[in-house]
Amino acid sequence: MRSRALLLAALVAAVAACGPSGDPDLRVVNDVRAATPVSGSSQVVLTLANDGDGPDELVGAETPAALGVEIHLTEIDDGRATMAELERVELPAGEEVRFRPGGLHLMLVVPDDTVVEGGTFELTLTFDRSEPITVPVEVVPLLDLADDAFDEDPPG
The footprint of Cu ion (CB under 5 A) covers 72, 83, 107
Looking at beta carbons only, is 100 or 130 nearer to Cu ion?
100
> What b-and-e string marks burial along 127-153, b requiring 16 or more CB atoms within 10 Å of the CB?
bebbeebeeebebbebeebeebbeeee
Range list of β-strands (E), the chain: 26-28, 32-35, 41-50, 56-62, 66-77, 80-86, 89-91, 96-99, 104-111, 120-127, 133-140
Report how far Cα 66 is from the mean position of its chain's Cα atoms: 17
**CB 85 to Cu ion: min, Å:** 8
Looking at beta carbons only, is 24 or 104 nearer to Cu ion?
104
Looking at beta carbons only, is 107 or 123 nearer to Cu ion?
107
**CB 62 to Cu ion: min, Å:** 16
Looking at beta carbons only, is 65 or 107 nearer to Cu ion?
107
**CB 117 to Cu ion: min, Å:** 19
**CB 59 to Cu ion: min, Å:** 17
Q: Specify the 3-state DSSP secondary structure of 118.
A: coil
**Amino acid residing at 123:** L
Identify which of 85, 73, 89 has the alpha carbon closest to the alpha carbon of residue 127. Answer: 89
**CB 50 to Cu ion: min, Å:** 23
Q: Are 118 and 137 in contact (CB under 8 A)?
A: no
Looking at beta carbons only, is 59 or 83 nearer to Cu ion?
83
